[in-house]
């Protein structure tokens, strides 16, 4: 246990700057790829009190935590706890953190797109991938290639068309009335 004078305000574990005032279990779960449960298992296997502040750890404890975070199977954590089982390239079980996790996920998605798997097609078109219902949800951003145009009615009603002038010319000459705007049907209301 360190004294107050040896307290560190900022620690760096696995490439992440962590505030020294946080509890160890909360601080470790801030690292991307490391959740609350895995942090708790790591601390229990290293016999470190999870309620202690992370700024009060010794150098040895910090190095033990960092090596356990990088390779959890070395301290006896079972393989089913790891987030990358049977890697496609190596065939081994490993645990990915921070930018490695993002990079591997993007590589997996790109590989599925290049082999034209069904998941790849769904990713290409921005649709739900995991079998969710899409009849009523996920409708945002679906209109591709459709351009909506607003129809502006003539200011004078029928006189503008008889005189041979366009609607834009009459709009510049006289302002629109609210009655003319409400009387004209919208494009979606026209029936064919």
* DSSP, residue by residue, 60-107: HHHHHHHHHHH-GGGGT--GGGSSB-S-TTT---B---HHHHHHHHHH
Q: Say which residue, 20 or 187, is predicted with more confidence.
A: 20
Q: Say which residue, 14 or 164, is predicted with more confidence.
A: 14
Q: Is residue 100 part of a domain?
A: no
Measure the CA dihedral 87/67/5/8, to 10°.
Answer: -20
Residue 190, pLDDT score: 56
Residue 90, pLDDT score: 86
What is the rounded average pLDDT of the residues 37-59? 88
Residue 110, pLDDT score: 92
Residue 112, pLDDT score: 92
CA 93 to chain centre: 25
**Domain final residue, candidates 33, 48, 80:** 80
Query: Which CATH number is 9's domain given?
Result: 1.10.8.50
Query: What is the domain range of residue 17?
Result: 4-80
Q: Whose structure tokens read 């490993």?
A: 94
Q: How far apart are CA 42 and CA 186, in angstroms?
A: 63
| 143 band by pLDDT with thresholds 50, 70 and 90 | low
Q: How far apart are the first and last CA of the chain?
A: 81
**Domain final residue, candidates 29, 56, 80:** 80
Q: How far apart are CA 79 and CA 97, in angstroms?
A: 16
Q: Is residue 123 pLDDT above 70, yes or no? A: yes
Find the farthest-apart pair of alpha carbons in the chain and give their distance in angstroms, rounded.
93
What is the rounded average pLDDT of the residues 102-120? 91
Measure the CA dihedral 51/54/58/60, to 10°.
Answer: 90
What is the rounded average pLDDT of the residues 164-174? 51
Q: How far apart are CA 14 and CA 27, in angstroms?
A: 12
Q: Is residue 49 part of a domain?
A: yes
Q: Is residue 53 pLDDT above 60, yes or no? A: yes
Residue 43 backbone phi and psi in degrees, to 5: -65, -35
Count how many domains the chain has: 2
Q: How far apart are CA 38 and CA 25, in angstroms?
A: 9
Residue 50 contacts residue 22 (beta carbons within 8 Å): no
Residue 10, pLDDT score: 85
What is the rounded average pLDDT of the residues 76-98? 84
What is the rounded average pLDDT of the residues 27-37? 88
**Domain final residue, candidates 20, 49, 80:** 80
């Amino acid at each position: 246990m360190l004294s107050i004078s040896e307290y560190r305000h900022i620690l760096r574990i696995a490439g992440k700057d962590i505030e020294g005032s946080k509890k160890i279990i909360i601080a470790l779960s801030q690292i991307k790829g490391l959740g609350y449960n895995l942090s708790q298992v790591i601390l229990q296997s290293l016999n470190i009190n999870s309620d202690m502040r992370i700024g009060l750890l010794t150098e040895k404890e910090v190095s033990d935590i960092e090596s356990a975070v990088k390779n959890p199977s070395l301290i006896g954590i079972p393989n089913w706890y790891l987030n990358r089982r049977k890697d496609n390239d190596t065939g081994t079980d490993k645990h990915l953190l921070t930018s490695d996790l993002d990079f591997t996920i993007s590589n997996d998605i790109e590989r599925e797109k290049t082999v034209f798997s069904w998941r790849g097609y769904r990713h290409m078109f921005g649709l739900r991938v995991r079998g969710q219902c899409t009849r009523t949800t996920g409708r945002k951003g679906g209109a591709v290639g459709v351009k909506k145009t607003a129809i502006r009615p003539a200011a004078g009603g029928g006189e503008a068309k008889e005189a041979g002038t366009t609607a834009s010319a009459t709009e510049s000459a006289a302002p629109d009335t609210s009655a003319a705007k409400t009387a004209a049907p919208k494009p979606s209301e026209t029936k064919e």
